Amino acid sequence: MVFSSVSFIYYFLPMFLVLYFMAPRKLKNLVILLASLLFYFYGEPVYSILIVLSSGLGYLHGRWIHKKKGGRYEKLPLISSLATGIGILMFFKYSDFFIKNINQIFSLNIPFLALKLPIGISFYTFQILSYTIDVYRGDAKVQRNILKFSTYVTLFPQLIAGPIVRYTTIESELSNRKHSFENTAYGINRFIIGLAKKVLLANTLGQLTKIFLDISEKTMLLYWGYVIAFMLQVYFDFSGYSDMAIGLGRIMGFHFLENFNYPFISRSISEFWRRWHISLGTWFRDYVYIPMGGNRVSLLRWIINVFVVWFLTGFWHGAQWNYVVWGLYFALFLVLEKKFIKSILEKLPAVMGHLYMLFFITISFAIFAADDLSGAFNNLKCMFTIKLLPFTNAETTYYLKSYMFILIFAIAGATPILKGLVGILKSTEIGKKTMNIAEPILHILLLLLVTSYLVDGSYNPFLYFRF
């Protein structure tokens, strides 16, 4: 089940909310847990056992780490937690990747396991590991109530597509959270905005990328259009899901941290990654980069640290070499920016920094959009080799013109322009009163429009199968 479906919006969610708000305070976590397991079971019946097992192992490791803290073998339970969590993730997500490469290197014919990737395993594995590491460090108190811990791991708003919610973020709210009309109203509005971003923008852009892939007579302009459309699709899909997760969490009294902050207005690659998928970037920073020494080491060791973190970041996204190259691509830029490019950008007009960022981020999505490394190289070759393909043709021009409005609107929506306009309107008393009336009406209209798209059976891909 996904958020952008009629079954979730009009069946699962209303029934859950009725039961949740009717339940006594002591039973609310139980309602969330049962609903979350049902939500996961709907899409992954067999792998529901895996998430229950992972939750149980995370809980037991937390208790074990707490018990051994300060003792002779205090690191043993932490090592066990890391080995177990990462081992399960590697087995289900990367087994065939390693088998494929071993077969190619040693000319073997080991059969593939062909395991179906459990939805959300990359997200909930990292959440469990953040908990056990924080308990070991003393940054989080051990959770003795298995119901509360399982609720944290399986919490359905962020279960399948993030953001990666750390235990410390909602630790107190698992036991004591406030429900209010303001939180509910904010949560509903945030959910609808995220839903509209996913269905109206991301899905429409997905249709365009599919058209580009299906066109037989490719052109250079088509490849650029494909990559830009895909980049915007991923942004609105992922940020839309994050908005929906944050909104649903707020309805239940949880305050999840923001996961996107208008990354396309950045002036550097470093700033882009401070604004894009914030929960993943800060996870690798706090649990990999800083423990390795961060930037408080020699120059060579720091460069190694950066490349290791970004190798892992790329590999986290998928079991293909193009994701690894994508991660290392960013590692190279982050090193160059820190030592050379940043000082140059600071002397240039702001617009030059924006153009620099947009160009190289677009190149990164040409790598990210491919199914494998050869596909990534083909995308780049076709984007830059004028002798290989014609610049454009009638078919490319037709589809670009047909989708021009959605592309322009998506580009504008990826910036704070609309938010700024609303802020200006609300700065006056009349504007504030007008917006207080207009916003609920707009959200209702958006929900109706989204519903019509979903009922019509419009293109509704789920990008997170690869993660």
Enter the DSSP assignment of 110: P
The residues near 366 (Cβ < 8 Å, ≥ 6 apart) are 223, 227, 376, 379, 380, 383
Q: How far apart are CA 341 and CA 347, in angstroms?
A: 10
Q: How far apart are CA 241 and CA 233, in angstroms?
A: 12
DSSP string, 213-267: HH-SS--HHHHHHHHHHHHHHHHHHHHHHHHHHHHHHHHTT--PPP----GGG-S
**Residue 340: other Cβ atoms inside 10 A:** 10
Q: Is 179 an annotated catalytic residue?
A: no
**Sequence letter at residue 427:** S
Say how many Å lie between the first and final Cα of the chain, rounded: 16
Query: What is the sign of the dihedral through the CA atoms of 154, 158, 163 and 165?
Result: negative
DSSP string, 153-207: HH-GGGTTT-----HHHHTGGGT-----HHHHHHHHHHHHHHHHIIIIIIHHHHH
- Tokens 């339970």 correspond to 77
**Cβ-contact 152, 51 below 8 angstroms:** no
Closest CA to 367 of 355, 375, 358: 375
**Cβ-contact 364, 329 below 8 angstroms:** yes
Q: How far apart are CA 243 and CA 198, in angstroms?
A: 10
**Sequence letter at residue 30:** L
DSSP string, 269-338: HHHHHHHSSHHHHHHHIIIIITTTTTTSS-HHHHHHHHHHHHHHHHHHH-SSHHHHHHHHHHHHHHHHII
Check 61, 66, 277, 317 and give the catalytic one.
Answer: 317
Q: How far apart are CA 5 and CA 120, in angstroms?
A: 18
Query: What is the sign of the dihedral through the CA atoms of 260, 261, 265 and 271?
Result: negative
Give the active site residues: 317
